Amino acid sequence: MFRAATAYVILFAAVGAYSPFLQQYYQSLGIALPAIGLLAAFTSAMVVVSAPFWGAIHDHIPTSRLLIPFAAAIATLGALGLATAGATPLIVVAAAVWAIGMAGVSPMMDVRVLSMVGANRTRYGWIRACGSASFIVFAPIVGLLVDRNGMGAMFWIMVPALALAGISAIALPPRHDSVRAPSLRKAPGTVLRDRPIAFLLLGSLVAWTAVSSQNSFFTIYLRELGAPDSVVGWTWAIAAMLEIPVMFLFPWLAKRFGVERLIVAGAAITFTRQVANVAFTTPALLLAFSLVQGAGYALILIGGVTFVSLRAPKGTAATAQGLLSGVTGSLAAILGSGVGGQLAGSLTIRGLYLVSACLGALAVVMIAVGVLPVARRAPPPAAVPAPPLAEARTVPSVPPISAPAGTLPPPDRAAAAADEPAEPTVRGS
C-alpha cells in the first residue's frame, strides 16, 4: 500500500500545480476567455479518445509495468511544451500531447490499486485520500510561487512531478486478477451494454459538465473579485480538505448506506456548492463553500469508481475505468469548458454559473434514477469495518491533480477496477 500511496502523492502534486492555475496561465499569455474555453475543450477531447484506448491496451497486457511510465513521459513532454510554446499555435499541439499522456496515467494507476485491494474495493478510497492530501499541500505552495515568480512557476512543480509519478508507478505490482479481454474494438461496447453503468455515465456526464463549467473559470472569477493568487491556491486546497476524511470513511459509509446512495449524495452536495457560487460574491464565503464541495467530490468520485469496478464485465476493468474517466471527466470538460467559455463571454462568469447550477440539479435526478434501483435489488454484502481515524493515519500521508473538485481538472479525474466483480453493488443492511 505504501508504494501505491507514494505514486498518488507524486501524481497529485502535479495536479495541485496545474489544476488551479492552468486557465489563468492561458489568460496571462493574452488568450481570450472564449479561446481558453475552446482550448480546454480540445484537450478534453483528446482525453475522451485516448482514455478508453489506454484502458483497452492495459486490459490486453495487464502485467506490463511500462505502460504507466510511458503515458507519464508523454504527459511530461506535453507539459514542457505548454511551458515554452507561448501564445502560438504550438500551444495547441503541446496541450494535446499533455492530455493524451494524462488520459492514461490516472485510470491505469487506479486499476492497479483496485487490483491490489482485491474484493473490498471500497478501500481504494484510503489510498486515493493520500492524493487529496498531496493536492492540499501543493496547491497553496504553487500559489505562493506564482505570486512571487509569475504564472510560469507552476511548471516548476508540474513537470518533475509528472515524470516522477511515472517512475514511481513502476513499483506497483502488476494486475493478478485479469482474464481474457474482448478485442480493442469491442471492449467499450461490452462495458456500455451494462445498463446501470451506462445510466451512471450519462448522469455523471451532466454532473461533471456542471462542475467543469464552474471550475474552468473559478480562478479567473476569484481574481475578478479581487482575490490574490495565494488565496486562489488556498481555495483549491480547502476544496480538497474534506475529501480526506470522507475517503477514509468511505468503506464504512458504503456498508451503512450503500455505494449508490453515496453517489447521489455526492451529486447533491456538489450542487449546493454550485448554488453558493451564484449566490455569493465574497471570496471568503466562496472559500468556505469550497470545503463543502470536498465531501461531494469524494463521494461521487470514489462511489463512481467503486460502482463501475463492481459491475464491469470480465476482462474490461481498465476499459470501464477509461470510459468513466474519458466520458464523465473529459467529455464533460468539453461541454463545460467549451460551451462554458462562450457563455462566460456573453453572460459573464456569474451568468454561466447560474446555468451550471441548473445542470447540477438535473444531474442529481438523473443519477438517482440510474443507480438507486440497483441498491434496491442488491443483497447486503459482508460487513465492512469502519477505519478508526488513528488507524487511518497509518496510511502514508506524504503530500499528494479535475481537479477538478476541480480538476484539470478536472477533473483528475478516475480509477480502475478488478476484472472479476465480487458483488454488483455495496449497500447497507
Q: Which domains does the chain have, with CATH numbers?
A: 2-412 (1.20.1250.20)
pLDDT at 229 over 70: no
Cα–Cα distance measured from residue 156 to residue 169, given in angstroms and rounded to the nearest whole number: 21
Q: Give residue 11's pLDDT.
A: 92
pLDDT at 400 over 50: no
Per-residue pLDDT tens for 128-140? 888 878 888 888 8
Per-residue pLDDT tens for 175-228? 665 555 555 566 667 777 778 888 888 888 999 888 888 887 887 888 788 877
* pLDDT band, residue 13 (cuts 50/70/90): very high
pLDDT at 358 over 90: yes
- The more confident residue out of 54 and 240 is 54
Task: Return the residue matching grid coordinates 447521489.
Answer: 264
Percent of the chain with pLDDT over 90: 18
pLDDT at 411 over 60: no
Pure H helices in 120-217:
124-149, 154-169, 187-192, 195-215
Burial class (CB in 10 A: 0-12, 13-18, 19+), 140: buried
pLDDT at 73 over 90: yes
Q: Give residue 60's pLDDT.
A: 76
Burial class (CB in 10 A: 0-12, 13-18, 19+), 422: middle
Percent helix, strand, coil in the chain, to 5, is 75, 0, 25
Q: Give residue 385's pLDDT.
A: 44
Per-residue pLDDT tens for 239-274? 667 788 888 888 889 888 988 999 999 999 999 988
Average pLDDT over residues 227-234: 70
Out of 90-94, 195-199, 291-295, the most confident range is: 90-94
User: Residue 159's closest CA among 13, 271, 366, 290?
Assistant: 13
In degrees and rounded to multiples of 5, residue 183 shows phi and psi of -65, 160
Dmax over CA atoms of the chain, in Å, equals: 58
Cα–Cα distance measured from residue 289 to residue 105, given in angstroms and rounded to the nearest whole number: 30
Cα–Cα distance measured from residue 85 to residue 92, given in angstroms and rounded to the nearest whole number: 9
b/e per residue 345-375 (b: at least 16 CB within 10 A):
beeebbebbbbbbebbeebbebbbebbeebb
In degrees and rounded to multiples of 5, residue 181 shows phi and psi of -90, 155
Three-state DSSP at 244 gives: helix
pLDDT at 405 over 50: no
How many Å separate Cα 279 from the centre of its chain?
A: 26
Cα–Cα distance measured from residue 58 to residue 252, given in angstroms and rounded to the nearest whole number: 31
Cα–Cα distance measured from residue 189 to residue 316, given in angstroms and rounded to the nearest whole number: 10
Q: Give residue 393's pLDDT.
A: 35
User: pTM for the full model?
Assistant: 0.67
Q: Give residue 301's pLDDT.
A: 87
- Contact status, residue 82 vs residue 17, Cβ threshold 8 Å: no
